[in-house]
Amino acid sequence: MESQSAPTRSGWLAKLLWGAVAIIGAAAVGGIALHRGETINSLWFVVAAACVYTIAYRFYSVFLATRVLLLDPTRATPAERLSDGRDFVPTHRWIVFGHHFAAIAGPGPLIGPTLAAQFGYLPGTLWILIGGVLGGCVQDFVILFFSIRRNGRSLGQMAREELGRVGGGAATLGVMTIMIILIAVLGLVVVNAMKHSPWATSTVAATIPIALLVGVYLRFVRPGRVLEGSVIGVALLLAAVVGGGFVDHHPDLRGWFDYPASPLALMIMAYGFCAAVLPVWLLLAPRDYLSTFMKLGTIGALACAIVILRPQMHMPALTQFIDGSGPVFAGPLFPFVFITIACGAISGFHSLVASGTTPKLIANEGDARMIGYGGMLMESFVAIMAMIAACVLEPGVYFAINSPPGIVGADAATAVATITAWGFPVTLEQMQNLARDMGEVTLFARTGGAPSLAVGMAHIFSSLSGGSLLALWYHFAIMFEALFILTTLDAGTRVARFMLQDLLGSVYAPLGRTGWYPGVLMSSALVVAAWGYFLYQGTRDPLGGINSLWPLFGIANQMLAAIALCVATTILVKQASRRRYALVTALPLVWLVTITSSAAGYKLLSANPRLGLLAHAQDLQAKLSAGTGTPEFLLQAPRLIFNDHLNAAMTLIFLIIAWVVVFATLRIVVQVLRGAPTSPLSEAPYEATALNLR
Amino acid sequence: MKRPWLQTLTTLWRQFNGDTAYACYCQHLAIHHAQQTPLSRGEFYQAELVRRWNSVRRCC
């Protein structure tokens, strides 16, 4: 490293430069932490993030690469050794970076920080920065590296080989259950953005025929010309946003797209089923091309807009809701800020991509640092931008959009009075004007994060167009979010279908055949029914669904990250020369196990009915037995009680899976420390590279 | 006029969106499996999509 080189002139200059970056970064983080004024400029956040990321990349990732993992640029990667022109292809590092980032950047880092803003901007921002550089980036980097050393093996395979059959089985089960919860919660986010919004619904609906059209173009008109197809598709998508405005203003047409949440949930389920069953070329792949271009373009544009405009943020550093009484979701700061931020700081799902497509494309081991560690830094920056966009709103407006009617009251006047009484002034007129500006009938109780993020983005983008076109920007942002949420939903349903078929195939062989239509239809229907149940119940939950589903998703996602870190720690511990560095993965692992276990503990054991699932069920049961409440409530109560028990069971399953894997890891660590033999490392032998792509 | 940087950028961009995948496959076949007949562009696109979408491709 440079700090050890002779003190030449350039060495001193470098030290001076990095010293300056460190001081500016520390000042920006300190400024964010200590600032207590009415508003704070978003530039502080951008500068703090930029300095923290560059220092982490320059020093910590180099430490990981040169001391812990010992990246070897002379060693041939699977892309070179197993090159087949299709799956394994040595690819330029910037291309792999682009693919990797497009794969890991989903709706999570946009929604998590938006929800976590109920604690104020400070806790979420600090965790995105710290959790990102010490947790998420490390996880992505080490899993990518270990997969490269194992011929591009998946996380499940690595878990089986390194942890044994029990650990491997638990990991596979974990992946499947997280998929179900993930799809349900993302579906709910889209439904909440579309309910009673003809503009949003018609625009999102238009993305389906547009994807089909692009699919046909790429299959029959100009086979495989992805760029052409995508350009046509993106142009049509933009036209669909404008067209949605036309539909919204048309007295007859708007009725066709005006639905409450529950029917929309059923439509999403029907759509998910079709997407899983139809050929990939027709719907799934073209939608993905469109969403990738849209995603990268919009994220880039948002970054530019924030840097140019430097908007003021109105949310305080901390709110009173750190005590756990927040309206957006229940639960105290510890551990729920970590569970809620989830993907913006560390996401277990990334370990599936880092041990999937990416390791098969990397041409040189040395590229793994930039792609694994650097890719996650970018994702973490997306989370910072989402935090900025959420905090640009007046806090009163933020809470009016994100609070479910079960907490602030079903009618607008009560909601406004409740939120104002919390110390976040907001008026009915202000909300009506905002809804009118955004081209919506109402923005109250649009829980899920997507609408408030879209309002924030619309504010930022419309400043570029002189404060006009708010409604267009709002619906553009909704379309952008819905587009890649639906891509995740399609792709997730399909992958979960394959996993289920794999499982069912061991019971009755034909069910495992991906070409046997009855098997395909049945397994797809089962997967859709599983996530559809959670989604549908979420739309009928008086507390808004997100309230219970997002923490469940957060726990599942962090659990998957814990599994990935267990695999990484085991591999490090098995190698005598690296053992002392195992703390780089073991410390984030201990932290993740602590937060997932305590969050699960709260969800299962808390006596507060808003937080504890079982306490909520008991509370409902008591009311039901006493016969208190409206006839509607008495009708709903048994279903709500069942859902509470189901959610509690899911939480318990996640907890058990995580601990099974942790014990499998501990067993191997103890064996190693005692000097007992363990299962050998499954690393592929060294072969020198003949490539020179760098 | 020749502009190498522009050419590099165009190549990277075409690689990123997958427009060069078929050429890359044909080249691989020509070098390593000269006796095999390559798939047509349409068949290749179709086969690639199915292979790619059978694993986790998108995160949350």
The pLDDT assigned to A312 comes to: 95
Q: How confident is the model at residue A1 (pLDDT cuts 50, 70, 90)?
A: very low
Considering only alpha carbons, which residue of chain A is nearest residue B29?
Answer: A85
Considering only alpha carbons, which residue of chain A is nearest residue B59?
Answer: A104
Question: What percent of chain A lies above the pLDDT cut of 90?
Answer: 76
What's the rounded Cα separation, in Å, for the pair A538 and A188? 7
The pLDDT assigned to A394 comes to: 95
Considering only alpha carbons, which residue of chain A is nearest residue B42?
Answer: A223
What's the rounded Cα separation, in Å, for the pair A637 and A622? 10
* Average pLDDT, integer, range A636-643: 92
Q: Is the pLDDT of residue A155 over 50?
A: yes
What's the rounded Cα separation, in Å, for the pair A281 and A85? 20
**Residues A546, A333 contacting (CB under 8 angstroms):** no
**Residues A231, A214 contacting (CB under 8 angstroms):** no
> What backbone torsions phi and psi does residue A312 show, to the nearest 5 degrees?
-80, 140
What's the rounded Cα separation, in Å, for the pair A162 and B15? 35
Burial code (b: 16+ CB inside 10 Å, e: under 16) for A165-186 equals eebbbbbbbbbbbbbbbbbbbb
- Identify the burial level of A192 via C-beta atoms within 10 angstroms of its C-beta, where 0-12 means exposed, 13-18 middle and 19 or more buried: buried
Indicate the residue of B32, B50, B57 with minimum beta-carbon distance to A357.
B57
What's the rounded Cα separation, in Å, for the pair A457 and A463? 10
The pLDDT assigned to A6 comes to: 57
> What pLDDT digit, counting tens, does each position of A268-324 carry?
999 999 988 888 889 988 998 899 889 899 999 999 999 999 999 999 999 999 999
Spell out the residues 6+ positions from residue A53 whose beta carbon is closer than 8 angstroms to its own. A132, A133, A377, A380, A381
Chain A CB contacts of B25 under 8 Å are: 85-86
Chain B CB contacts of A494 under 8 Å are: 53-54
> What backbone torsions phi and psi does residue A70 show, to the nearest 5 degrees?
55, 60
**Residues A139, A588 contacting (CB under 8 angstroms):** yes
Chain A CB contacts of B50 under 8 Å are: 280
- Number of helices (H), then strands (E), in chain A: 30, 2
Chain B CB contacts of A557 under 8 Å are: 60
What's the rounded Cα separation, in Å, for the pair A186 and A208? 17
Chain A CB contacts of B36 under 8 Å are: none
- Structure-token pair, residue A628: 């208190």
Amino acid at A621: Q
With H, G, I as helix, E, B as strand and everything else as coil, classify residue A241.
helix
* Average pLDDT, integer, range A388-417: 94
Chain A CB contacts of B41 under 8 Å are: 223-224
Question: How many other C-beta atoms can be found within 10 angstroms of the C-beta atom of residue A9?
Answer: 7
Residues from B contacting A (CB-CB < 8 Å) are: 12-19, 21-22, 24-25, 27-29, 32, 40-42, 44-46, 48-60
Question: How many other C-beta atoms can be found within 10 angstroms of the C-beta atom of residue A509?
Answer: 11
Residues A342, A343, A349, A354, CA torsion sign:
negative
What ipTM was predicted for this assembly? 0.84
CA atoms within 13 A on the CB side of A289: 30
With H, G, I as helix, E, B as strand and everything else as coil, classify residue A313.
strand
> What backbone torsions phi and psi does residue A688 show, to the nearest 5 degrees?
-75, 145
Cis-peptide into A335, omega within 30 deg? yes
The pLDDT assigned to A668 comes to: 93
Residues A675, A676, A680, A685, CA torsion sign:
positive
**Residues A90, A691 contacting (CB under 8 angstroms):** yes
What's the rounded Cα separation, in Å, for the pair A644 and A6? 64
Q: How confident is the model at residue A7 (pLDDT cuts 50, 70, 90)?
A: low
What's the rounded Cα separation, in Å, for the pair B48 and A360? 15
Chain A CB contacts of B12 under 8 Å are: 92, 94-95
Kindly report which listed range (A139-148, A415-424, A647-656, B48-57) carries the lowest average pLDDT score. B48-57
Chain A CB contacts of B58 under 8 Å are: 103, 106, 288, 484, 487-488, 491-492
Q: Which DSSP category does A685 fall into?
A: P
CB contact under 8 A, B25 and A487: no
* Average pLDDT, integer, range A470-487: 92
CB contact under 8 A, A288 and B24: no
Residues A114, A120, A121, A125, CA torsion sign:
negative
CB contact under 8 A, A353 and B41: no
Spell out the residues 6+ positions from residue A345 whose beta carbon is closer than 8 angstroms to its own. A127, A128, A130, A131, A132, A135, A136, A338, A380, A383
Instruction: Name the minimum distance, in Å, from the CA of B22 to any CA of chain A.
Output: 8
What parts of chain B have a pLDDT lower than 70?
1-2
Q: How confident is the model at residue A519 (pLDDT cuts 50, 70, 90)?
A: confident
> What backbone torsions phi and psi does residue A5 show, to the nearest 5 degrees?
-75, 165
CB contact under 8 A, A285 and B16: no
CB contact under 8 A, B60 and A557: yes
Indicate the residue of A103, A281, A514 with minimum beta-carbon distance to B57.
A103
Minimal CA–CA distance to A456: which of A439, A473, A481? Answer: A473
Quote the longest CA-to-CA distance of chain B.
Answer: 45
Kindly report which listed range (A23-32, A416-425, A507-516, A659-668) carries the lowest average pLDDT score. A507-516
Spell out the residues 6+ positions from residue A370 whose beta carbon is closer than 8 angstroms to its own. A93, A97
What's the rounded Cα separation, in Å, for the pair A565 and A318? 31
Mean pLDDT of chain A: 92
Tell how strand A40-41 and strand A312-313 pair up: antiparallel
> What backbone torsions phi and psi does residue A313 show, to the nearest 5 degrees?
-105, 135
Tell which of A280, A284, A292 to mutate to test the B interface (max B CBs under 10 Å).
A280
Helix A546-574, helix A333-341: angle, nearest 10:
80
Instruction: Name the minimum distance, in Å, from the CA of B2 to any CA of chain A.
Output: 22
CB contact under 8 A, B15 and A219: no
Q: How confident is the model at residue A3 (pLDDT cuts 50, 70, 90)?
A: very low
> What backbone torsions phi and psi does residue A250 show, to the nearest 5 degrees?
-90, 120
β-partners of residue A362 are A91
* Average pLDDT, integer, range A506-530: 87
β-partners of residue A364 are A76
What's the rounded Cα separation, in Å, for the pair A403 and A392? 17
Phi-psi category of residue A445: left, alpha or beta, with phi > 0 → left and psi -120 to 50 → alpha: left
The pLDDT assigned to A223 comes to: 86
Minimal CA–CA distance to A477: which of A181, A263, A183, A244? Answer: A244
> What pLDDT digit, counting tens, does each position of A321-376 carry?
999 999 999 999 999 999 999 999 999 999 999 998 899 999 999 999 999 999 99
Chain A CB contacts of B45 under 8 Å are: 218-219, 223-224, 281
Q: Is the pLDDT of residue A216 over 60?
A: yes
β-partners of residue A313 are A40
The H-assigned helical ranges of A310-371 are 333-341, 350-354, 367-368
> What pLDDT digit, counting tens, does each position of A424-445 carry?
999 999 999 999 999 999 999 9
Indicate the residue of A91, A285, A347 with minimum beta-carbon distance to B60.
A347
Indicate the residue of A98, A224, A289 with minimum beta-carbon distance to B22.
A224
Chain B CB contacts of A353 under 8 Å are: 56-57, 59
> What pLDDT digit, counting tens, does each position of A309-332 carry?
999 999 999 999 999 999 999 999
- Could you tell me the domains of chain A? 64-196+259-674 (1.20.1740.10)
Kindly report which listed range (A232-241, A477-486, A670-679, B10-19) carries the lowest average pLDDT score. B10-19
Minimal CA–CA distance to A392: which of A434, A327, A453? Answer: A453
**Residues B45, A171 contacting (CB under 8 angstroms):** no
Indicate the residue of B28, B42, B54 with minimum beta-carbon distance to A223.
B42
Instruction: Name the minimum distance, in Å, from the CA of B44 to any CA of chain A.
Output: 8
Amino acid at A473: W
Most confident option among A82-91, A534-543, A558-567: A558-567
Amino acid at A318: L
Identify the helix (H) or strand (E) that includes residue A581.
Answer: none
- Identify the burial level of A508 via C-beta atoms within 10 angstroms of its C-beta, where 0-12 means exposed, 13-18 middle and 19 or more buried: exposed
CB contact under 8 A, A492 and B15: no
* Average pLDDT, integer, range A684-690: 93
CB contact under 8 A, B60 and A352: no
With H, G, I as helix, E, B as strand and everything else as coil, classify residue A578.
coil
The pLDDT assigned to A2 comes to: 42
- Structure-token pair, residue A607: 């006596």
The pLDDT assigned to A305 comes to: 93
